[in-house]
Amino acid sequence: MSVYYSEDHEWINVEGNVGTVGITDYAQNALGDIVFVEVPEVGDEFAKGDEVAVVESVKAASEIYSPVSGEISAVNEELEDNAALVNTSPDGDGWFFKIKISDESELEELMDAAGYKAFIAGLE
Amino acid sequence: MMNNQGRPTSADGAASTNETGFASYTGSRGLSQVEGLIYEIGDTNRTGVDLPEVEDFDNYLGGMERTAEIGLAGLTEPEAMRHYTRLSRKNYAIDLGLYPLGSCTMKHNPRLNEKMARLSGLGDIHPLQPVSTVQGALDLIDTLAHWLKTLTGMPAVAMSPKAGAHGELCGLMAIRAALEASGDARSIVLAPESAHGTNPATAALCGYKVKPIPATKDGRVDLDAMKEALGPDVAAIMVTNPNTCGLFEREIIEIADAVHAVGGYFYCDGANFNAIVGKVRPGDLGVDAMHINLHKTFSTPHGGGGPGAGPVVLSEALAPFAPIPYVIAGEETFELVEHEVDGGQSFGRMTAFHGQMGMFVRALAYMMSHGADGLAKVAEDSVLNANYVLASLKDVMTASFEGPCMHEALFDDRFLKDTGVSTLDFAKAMIDEGYHPMTMYFPLVVHGAMLIEPTESESKQSVDQFIGMMRHLVERAKAGETERFTGAPFNAPMKRLDETGAARNPVLRWRAGEDAAE
């Protein structure tokens, strides 16, 4: 099991060939209070970089881009009633969806925790 | 008992306590009157007018008629009148003070415009009147079209779109029609990050895939990234110029040439035309289509008390695809073309009638009272006022980009670092000072954006007072008076709203006897 990060502030936690995807604490903090999350449907297929979900905060609506290519195998239905989970637990209960990764080599283009930490430090 | 559904009150419940500390019986603070919802004032058991009992009569509804009570509140005329007048007094308006909402161009609507719009021959006519009886009105539309074409240096204009975004749709539909007519349907529209938010929305509504183009560090379109994104499948690029950072896209001609080179069209969002009117002709920049928000550049009221107006100027290539209806000047009379002629290529009709007459009258009154030289002065003064604000505040606030701006000054929230005050808090504190806040958190390309557009309507004295107020607030924030900001507004009819609660648990309708607090 290992966690990767994208420049669009998504994390993907990979177990076997399935990755659980959410947004980082940095992202939820920048977005502010989240009021609505639109997740994809199980079975939908996306290429890396496709718009896969939408997150709306009191400030703005933002797209979530798929960090890898693959097929959606599960979505977090809790978010429909309780979008605040993304604020309270961005890297836990506030996950968005699980994706069956079709090309594991794409993970190599993502950052590890240390790399992401340096990346956001550069944004300040 | 007042129904408090969805209503925020101050944390300590002392919303109606005045300076001496006593609470008034009514909750009102002098002329700042508390006003309930209309259902709380009237009730369904009474009516403000006396009507005779309706006798039973036959109807043709086949048993579908409503039998339940409608449940409308009954109010007397003075009650209804007071209700809306009291609500209107809680509003902020350009007639009350400087309205610095960036990107919106909240300029003064000269009262001469209103006088013209109320002339009987213009204000009391109907779109379905015989054309022979409205020749003056058609003449006015034709004259306004002439001014718009002259000011933009474009050969054609579609007058019927009802607003800026509607104009964008018109422009993109013309582009799509032109591409399809040449058998070259394409699928991508490029939209820079510094463009108006409606641009990508319009492209998506038109069925295009939107590809965002990043901004450079100096707040303009990244030309290299744009060129990389160009290709044979790009239908158009939509560029706002001046852009939403208040900056002129210096490489606009290169952008136009590049998109033309791949066979695409150049849509310019003309919402900020106010900053360049009389100075720059978009037609000279290679623009194929551009909407003009009459309310922003030519001072018609925002929204217009009904539909607004967003005429679209079109290049030679797109002109044949313009929507119907349109006005043409015959040898002796003006005609309204309601149906496309045989073999014509119009993409169809966007609105029932020919456009928003009330706005046309006001816009033309504004143009003619200013004259061509006066309109150039409008652009100069709007840019001067914005730069005066930028120059007067940048030593205490943080300007997002180097150098002068166009019609609006953009700051970010770096100056609030470690104060515990956010852009939102700062905006709320402006309400306590009697100002409408500036645009905040937009554009998205800078952090905690504050976008200020004073417009040319303001005198130096008025802008100086605004600057003084802003400097005072910055000073207070840096002095650690955090609560003055985080709890603001304190002086407004409504206190700090629970925006998150309002969005997560919206109360969308009033129901008798329910109280959100219960």
DSSP B196-258: -THHHHHHHHTTPEEEEE-B-TTSSB-HHHHHHH--TTEEEEEEESS-TTS---TTHHHHHHH
Helix (H, G, I), strand (E, B) or coil at A53: strand
> Which of B441, B444, B500 is the closest to A33 by Cβ?
B500
Name the residue of chain B whose CA is nearest to A30's CA. B447
- Chain B residues whose CB is inside 8 A of the A35 CB are 500, 503-504
Count of pairs with CB atoms under 8 A, one residue in A, one in B: 16
Q: What ranges do the domains of chain B cover?
A: 112-366, 372-504
- Mark which residues 427-466 of B lie under 8 Å from A by CB: 441, 444
Cβ contact B364:B144 at 8 Å: yes
**Terminal-residue alpha carbon distance, chain B:** 13
pTM: 0.86
CA A11/CA A2 separation, integer angstroms = 10
Name the CATH code of domain B112-366 (choices 3.40.50.300, 2.170.130.10, 3.40.640.10, 2.60.120.10). 3.40.640.10
Q: Give the distance, in angstroms, between the CA of residue A34 and the centroid of all CA atoms in the same chain.
A: 14
Residue B7 pLDDT: 45
Token digits of residue A11: 């994390």
Residue B307 pLDDT: 79
Residue B449 pLDDT: 95
Name the CATH code of domain B372-504 (choices 2.130.10.10, 3.40.50.970, 3.40.50.920, 3.90.1150.10). 3.90.1150.10
CB atoms within 10 A of CB B61: 8
- Smallest CA-to-CA distance from A111 within A1, A18, A6 is with A6
Percentage above 70 pLDDT, chain A: 98
Please report the domains of chain A, with CATH numbers, ordered by start residue.
2-118 (2.40.50.100)
Q: Which of B422, B499, B505 to mutate to test the interface with A (most CBs of A within 10 A)?
A: B499
Closest chain A C-alpha to B416 CA, distance in angstroms:
14
- Smallest CA-to-CA distance from B450 within B479, B477, B470 is with B470
Q: Give the distance, in angstroms, between the CA of residue A85 and the centroid of all CA atoms in the same chain.
A: 13
> Which of A36, A60, A84 is the closest to B441 by Cβ?
A60
Q: Residue A73: what are its φ and ψ, rounded to 5°? A: -110, -20
CA B423/CA B414 separation, integer angstroms = 10
> Which of B441, B444, B500 is the closest to A35 by Cβ?
B500
Global ipTM: 0.71
Name the residue of chain B whose CA is nearest to A32's CA. B500
CA B507/CA B489 separation, integer angstroms = 22
Residue B19 pLDDT: 56
Token digits of residue B176: 């799509």
Name the residue of chain A whose CA is nearest to B424's CA. A59
CA B441/CA A59 separation, integer angstroms = 7
Q: Residue B321: what are its φ and ψ, rounded to 5°? A: -100, 5
CA B289/CA B291 separation, integer angstroms = 7
Name the residue of chain B whose CA is nearest to A58's CA. B500
Q: How many CA atoms lie within 13 A of B52 on its CB side?
A: 3
Q: What is B422-459 written as a DSSP string?
A: -HHHHHHHHHHTT-PPPEES-STTSTT-EEE---TTS-
Closest chain B C-alpha to A15 CA, distance in angstroms:
32
Residue A83 in contact with partner chain B when CB distance is under 8 A = yes
Cβ contact B309:B277 at 8 Å: no
Longest dimension (CA), chain B: 78
- Could you list the pLDDT tens digit for every one of the 518 residues in chain B? 344 444 444 434 444 444 566 888 888 888 888 888 888 888 777 888 888 888 888 889 998 988 887 878 889 999 999 999 999 998 899 999 999 999 899 999 999 999 999 999 999 999 999 999 999 999 999 999 999 999 999 999 999 999 999 999 999 999 999 999 999 999 999 999 878 889 999 999 999 999 999 999 888 999 999 999 999 999 999 999 999 889 999 999 999 999 999 999 999 999 999 999 999 999 999 999 999 999 999 999 887 767 789 999 999 999 999 999 999 998 999 999 999 888 899 999 999 998 999 999 999 999 999 999 999 999 999 999 999 999 999 999 999 999 999 999 999 999 999 999 999 999 999 999 999 999 998 888 888 999 999 999 999 999 999 999 999 999 999 999 999 999 999 998 888 988 888 888 888 887 776 654 43
Residue B14 pLDDT: 42
